[in-house]
Structure 1
Amino acid sequence: MIRFADDTTKQQVYNMWKTVFGDSDEYMEIYFREKYRNENTLIYFDEEKDKEKAVSSLQMLPFNFSFHGGEIPIAYFSGLCTLPEARRKGFMGALIEKSFNEMDKNGVPLAILVPQEESVMKFYRQFGFIQTFDAGAPLPDLREIISESDNLKAAYETFDSFFRRRDMTVQKSPEDFQAIVEEAALFDFPVKRSLMGMSRVIDAEKLLAVFAKKYPETQISVKISDPLIRKNNAVFVIEKGKVARSNPEKVVRYNLETDALVQLLLGYKTSTFTIDYSHIFPEKQPLIGFMME
């Protein structure tokens, strides 16, 4: 059974996180104070001897994401974990698919996550996630920003200016920044670099609409295939700055799975596809970092 967390089950999520990730109490105090919210947390409860036990959970943290000159709401997957004794039973997969429904209901068109290690990327690929962010790009030096700023507000403005001018990146609020600084202080402000991340289309039409508005000169027809989110299976025609659904039998120029679509929409190495799409989908440098990873 899957339910959202509440005040009676929050501690079970905390305990599960501690068991699986082994983070320090200091870090977890910051995270569960600043980032955790019941309404963003899905839990899978396994029934054992007429009792329910929380065995798997994930969190969908809301952020804004700069996307083709504007901002869209996204969900950042955090704290995906399953107790060791409950693994390989499909619990996390069920949570992920449930989260797609919740995001769609809430008008969130894109999901992003940062896998802890490359070995788990294969697991996420089966749910339509694909790499859209590379690791290793330099990020602002928090220690330097803090030391050169008169107060936290001024420090945030400096920090924010780096990300605000970029396309295809997660934007942070002043509250996000405060948590980032507090977490960094625990580890003596380590030098940070961008993270390897993956993305998943939740609502193809909404993302294509933003793209079409930004590039009104673009005229293409594309058939999208999505084995998990039915509404994305459609033919879309983009012209004159708008997107519209078309006859499913229409002959189209491009046939795309949603994993390829999200790479193209985020401008991730679009010139390296078998077909060079960069003349349609401009190549960009998606970047993600400072996610309290």
Structure 2
Amino acid sequence: MIRFADETTRPQVREIWKTVFGDPDEEVELYFRHKYRDENTLIYMESEKVVASLQMLPYLFTFCGMEIPVIYLSGVSTLPEYRKRGYVRQLLIRSFEEAARRDVPLILLVPQEEWLLKFYARYGFAQTFDTGTEELISLQVLLERYPGDLHMAFKMFNSLFRQEDMTVQKSFDDFRAIVEDATLCGFPPKRNLLGMARIIDAEKLLSLFARRYGDKTFSITVEDELLQENHVLFRIADEKIQKECPGVESSLTTDIRELAQLLLGYHTSEKEAPFNTLFPEKHPQMHFMLE
């Protein structure tokens, strides 16, 4: 049975985290204090026992010149003795339904191991973020620049990323958690993270794209084996989008994975024509995620 966590199941979720990920107690305590919320935690229960769980952390994401809500999946895990029973699949699909209910058009995650790229691809995720080659700003240097003034440090941090398109944004509360984690870990160097995206609402994202790039005119059929509402022909023209246009033949066909890459501008210059001219290349960024 899948449901949301509450105060009675929270200790079990925490114990799953410790068992599966093996993080030090101090880091687990920091995560559950700053990021964990019962109402954002889906759990799978057998009888009275929590055997699998995930967290749906809310963030903002700059997309086509606007800030949109996204969900960042964290702590996707199953107790070892309950694996290979399809519990994570059910939790993921439920998270898609919950994202749609909350009007969140995009889900992001960071796979901790390479094999997870193929695992999450089964559920419509695609790699849309590359591992960074350059170090990001040092939080230690930032704090030293504004001693005792965390708000000013955040203001400078925020100014570096807020105007960047296709970037996960942070609130002051996010920043405070990031700083506490960095302090706990000795301020390790940080780079952009390898990450994946899953489109929940293709119509919403294509509408924002059409509004941003009013000179683009094309029709595209999207294939999505899990979310039928995305399995549709769209027509983009004059800054607007039409869905299931009668009498319109599709000029392009793509699946939901490639659509995520196209809309986020992930290596689109390497795509075949006309994708490489219709979808501008960007440099999606995801970083400082308490990874």
Give the structure-1-normalised TM-score.
0.96
Q: Distance between the aligned counterparts of 2:73 and 2:244, measured in 1?
A: 32
Instruction: Give 1:182's match in structure 2, choosing from 169, 180, 183.
Output: 180
Q: Deviations over 1:50-81 (max 9, x none)?
A: x3211100011000000011111000000001
Are 1:234 and 1:248, in contact at CA under 8 Å, matched by a contact in 2? no
Q: Residues 184 and 237 from structure 1, CA distance in 2 versus in 1: closer, same or farther, beyond 3 angstroms?
A: same
Matched, 1:108 2:94: no
**In the alignment, which residue of structure 2 is the partner of 1:53?**
49
Instruction: Give 2:221's match in structure 1, choosing from 209, 220, 223.
Output: 223
| AA in 1 matched with 2:186 | D
Q: Deviations over 1:14-73 (max 9, x none)?
A: 000000001111111111011000111000112xxxx32111000110000000111110
Instruction: Give 1:98's match in structure 2, choosing from 94, 100, 113.
Output: 94
Are 1:270 and 1:276, in contact at CA under 8 Å, matched by a contact in 2? no
| AA in 2 matched with 1:135 | T
Matched, 1:126 2:122: yes
Q: Distance between the aligned counterparts of 2:244 and 2:104, measured in 1?
A: 23
**In the alignment, which residue of structure 2 is the partner of 1:148?**
145
**In the alignment, which residue of structure 1 is the partner of 2:275?**
277
**In the alignment, which residue of structure 1 is the partner of 2:15?**
15
| Higher mean C-alpha displacement, 204-213 vs 134-143 | 134-143
**TM-align CA RMSD:** 1.1
Q: Distance between the aligned counterparts of 2:40 and 2:127, measured in 1?
A: 24
Give unpaired runs (5+ residues) of structure 2.
none
**In the alignment, which residue of structure 2 is the partner of 1:232?**
230
Give 1:278 deviation, angstroms: 2.8
Give 1:145 deviation, angstroms: 0.5
Q: Distance between the aligned counterparts of 1:243 and 1:140, measured in 2?
A: 39
| AA in 1 matched with 2:167 | T
Instruction: Give 2:82's match in structure 1, choosing from 63, 80, 86.
Output: 86
Give unpaired runs (5+ residues) of structure 1.
none
Are 2:65 and 2:165, in contact at CA under 8 Å, matched by a contact in 1? yes
Q: Distance between the aligned counterparts of 1:249 and 1:169, measured in 2?
A: 37
**In the alignment, which residue of structure 1 is the partner of 2:24?**
24
Q: Distance between the aligned counterparts of 1:289 and 1:40, measured in 2?
A: 21
